[in-house]
Chains A and B, each alone.
Chain A
Amino acid sequence: MSLDYLNGSVEMAHGSGGRASSELVNELFLPAFDNPILRELNDQATLTLLSKRIVMATDSHVISPLFFPGGNIGSLAVYGTVNDVVMSGAKPLYLSVGFILEEGFGLSELKKIVDSMAKAANACAIKIVTGDTKVVERGHGDGCYINTTGIGCINNDLNLSPANIQSGDKIIVSGSLGDHGTTILAQRQHLNLSTELHSDCQPLHDLVELMTHKVPEIRCMRDPTRGGLAAILNELSQRCGYAIQIDEVQIPIKGEVKACTELLGLDPLYIANEGKLVAFCPADKAEKLLAIMQAHPKGKEAAIIGEVLTDKRAIVEMKTSFGGKRIVDWRYSDPLPRIC
C-alpha cells in the first residue's frame, strides 16, 4: 500500500497514530529527512549537546499562498527557525517539525513541501529529528500549517544581546528590505500585480558564522521578519534605551519593491523579510564588518544604515532622502494599505 502522490490526498487516518500515520512517516517523512536519530522513530529524540549554552527557538507558519516565488511553506519553516536560532550566534543543530494538515490536502503538494524541507535542512547542515502530524477535518484548516522548533549551541564566548548596545554603535543590514512580504502580497490574485520579485527566504547561518568569527564584538543581531525593519529597530530602541537614527538614502530596497509598495500604498520599512539580518556593532568595527558581509554572497548588498544616538529615548527617526526628518513609529498590527 503505497502513498499515491499523483492523485492521493491527506485523510483523517493519517493523523490518528495508526497504520496510515505510520505509512506517512515511513514512506514520506523518513526517507526525506533521513538521519540516525530520526530512524529510531521514538516518540522523542535523544540529543547529545556539547555546549552548556543551548539555544531554542520555535515558529509556526501559516503563510498563504503555500507556494510562492522563491520558496514554499516548507523551506520557510526550516529557514525561519534556523535564522531565529542563528541570530544568537548559535550553530543550528536540530529541528522538530509539527504538521497540521487539512483533510483533502494533496499528497503531491505535501511531498513538494517535505522535499523542500529536506533540501533546506541539508543546506544548513541540520537534522530534523522528531515530528508530529495531526489532521483536521476539511474546511477547518488552510491546507497546511507547520510548526518548527530548533535547537542550537553557542560554542564560544559570544553573548549577543540588546543590553550590549551603546550609543555610537552602527546599524548594518545584510541586504535589500521588503522582498519577502511584497512578493507574498503580489501573489494575491485580486491585486493583479505582475512582477519578477521573489522571496529572499534563505538561511543565514554561514553569513552569521563568518561575521561573529571575524568581528566577535558585534553587540546583537536580529532578523526583521513580520513587522519589518521598523518593528525590530523600535523594539531594540526600547530595550537598549537609546534613540536610533537611520538614513533613508542608505537603506537598500529593490526598485520593484518600491514600485509595488507605491502602488499599494505601503511602506517597505514595515514589510517582512525572510533572509536578511540587522546587526549592531561598535562604530570602530563597522567598516570591517561591512566589508566582510559584502564579500559573502548573502551579504552582497549590505549597508550601514544608521546609528545609535546618545538620547535616552525609545524612538526611531529617519533622515529622509528628501532632506527632512521623520519618526518611524512602532505599528500595532499589520499595516492596512493606504488608499488615500
Chain B
Amino acid sequence: MKYLNEFRDGELAKNLIKQINQEIHADKTYRLMEFCGGHTHTIFRYGIPDMLPKNIQLLHGPGCPVCVLPMKRINAAIELAQQKDTILCSYGDMLRVPGDAKMSLLKAKSQGADVRMIYSPAEVVNIARQEPEKNVIFFAVGFETTTPPSAVILEQAIQLKLKNLFIFCNHVLTPPAIQGIMEPAKLVNESILDGLIGPGHVSVVTGYKAYEVLAERYQVPIVISGFEPLDILHSILMLVKQINKSLYCVENQYTRAVNAEGNLKAQRLIDKYFELRDSFEWRGLGEMPDSAIKIRPEFKNYDAEAQFKLSESKGIDNKACECPAVLRGQKKPTECKLFNNPCTPENPLGSCMVSSEGACAAYFQYQAY
C-alpha cells in the first residue's frame, strides 16, 4: 500500500528515535498533547510511548468527536431512532456510547429501532432512495474532516428532491476545542502542555493557517502531523526542537496532504449549507461559543432538529467520571476512580472509554497501566 507502508518503516523509526534522543535536554520535561483521536490510536497501535525517552510525556486531548458529544445529544439521537418509520444511520463509533439509563443506539437497535451502521454518508442517500416511506436520519458527528461529506449529501438530497433525508447535525470545530483546553490554564497563568501535535486531516480541510492565532495566544508550538507512526515521531522531533529554542510556531509536518489555506471547495460547501451555532455544550469542556455548526435555516427541511420534536433531557454524567479532566489532559485515565472499576470498554460510563480513540479506551486496550 503505497504511501502507507513506507511511513511505517521500522528502520526509519530507529533513525527518528535516535534524532529525538540527540535533541532532548536531559533535564527538561516535554509535555506533548495530540489533539486527534486518530493520532492517539496510532501512538498506541504502534507502541510509540515505549520507544520515546522518559522525559517526553504524551497527553491525550479531546479530538475524538465521540468523546466530546454531550449525553443530551446521544439521548436525542436515540429518541430519533425510536420514532415510528424511522431509519437512523450512524458511524460505528457512536453505536455504543451510553446515554441516560444505560441506553445506547445499539441497545435501541436490539429493542427494535432501525439503526444502521454506515461507513460513508453516501450510504444514507442510497438508503433514503430505497426506502421512500421511511424518515432516514443521519447522525452526523465529527470535526472539520467529516463535515464536508455531510454537506455533499445535503446537496445531493436537494438535487434529488428527496423528502425523507434528514441530518441531525453535531459537527464541531477544532480551534475552539483547542482553545477550550488551553484557556482555563492560561487564565490562571499555568501551562498544561509544551507542544501540540496538531490535527492532520482536519487541517487538510481547514489549512494550517487556522492555528497561528492559537500558537500565538498560548505560546505553544503546534506541528500539524500526518497519521502514520513515522509522521508522529517526526512531529515529536519538530516540537522538541521548537521547545528547546522557546519557539511557538505552527509547522506543517503533513506536507503531502496539508497546505496553508486548506480545501477551499470543501470550505465553500460547508459555508453554503451550515452556519455557526451561538453556543454548543461539549462534554468535559462545557458550553463554548462559536464552536459548532448547524444547518442553515433555508434548508430546514433537511434539519432533523427542525423537523422532529426532541424532548429536553438532562444527560447527567456520573459524578465520579473524570472525562472532563481527561479530555483536557489534566488527568491520566488511570487517575479516574472509575477506570476499570467498573468503567471498561464493555461497560463504559463515560465517552472516553467508549470510543476506541478515547484516551481511556486507548489506555485500557493497550493496557498502558
**Does chain B have a CB within 8 A of A53?**
no
Interface centre among A191, A322, A332, A336 (most CB of B within 10 A): A322
Query: Is the pair B4, A262 in contact by a Cβ cutoff of 8 Å?
Result: yes
What 0/1 readout, one digit per residue, does chain A (322-340) give for beta carbons within 8 Å of chain B? 1111110100110011111
**Does chain B have a CB within 8 A of A190?**
yes
Partner of A340, one of B49, B66, B123: B66
Query: Is the pair B119, A336 in contact by a Cβ cutoff of 8 Å?
Result: no
Query: Is the pair A339, B93 in contact by a Cβ cutoff of 8 Å?
Result: yes
Query: Is the pair B367, A329 in contact by a Cβ cutoff of 8 Å?
Result: yes
Closest residue to A326 on the B side, CB-wise? Answer: B47
What 0/1 readout, one digit per residue, does chain A (224-266) give for beta carbons within 8 Å of chain B? 0000000000000000000000000000000100110010110
**Does chain A have a CB within 8 A of B135?**
no
Q: Which residues of A contact B355 (CB under 8 A)?
A: 340
Closest residue to A324 on the B side, CB-wise? Answer: B47
Give Cα distance in the complex from A190 to B87, angstroms.
16
Q: Which residues of B contact A340 (CB under 8 A)?
A: 37-38, 41, 64-66, 91, 93, 142, 355-357
Q: Which residues of B contact A327 (CB under 8 A)?
A: 365-367
Query: Is the pair B119, A339 in contact by a Cβ cutoff of 8 Å?
Result: yes
Q: Which residues of B contact A315 (CB under 8 A)?
A: 367
Query: Is the pair B92, A324 in contact by a Cβ cutoff of 8 Å?
Result: no
Counting contact residues on chain A (CB < 8 A from B), the size range is 20 to 34
Query: Is the pair B229, A264 in contact by a Cβ cutoff of 8 Å?
Result: no
**Does chain B have a CB within 8 A of A7?**
no
Q: Which residues of B contact A194 (CB under 8 A)?
A: none
Q: Which residues of A contact B357 (CB under 8 A)?
A: 338, 340
**Does chain A have a CB within 8 A of B345?**
yes
Query: Is the pair A332, B37 in contact by a Cβ cutoff of 8 Å?
Result: no
| Binding-face segment, B7-15, B171-179, B308-316 | B7-15
The smallest beta-carbon distance between A259 and chain B, in angstroms, is 6
Q: Which residues of A contact B66 (CB under 8 A)?
A: 340
A window 287-340: CB within 8 A of B: 315, 318-327, 329, 332-333, 336-340
6 smallest A-B Cβ distances: which pairs?
A: A324-B47, A336-B92, A332-B346, A327-B367, A322-B46, A326-B47
A-B pairs with beta carbons under 8 Å apart, 19 shown: A190-B118, A320-B45, A320-B46, A322-B229, A323-B10, A323-B14, A323-B17, A324-B46, A324-B51, A326-B44, A327-B365, A327-B367, A329-B367, A332-B345, A332-B346, A333-B346, A340-B38, A340-B65, A340-B91
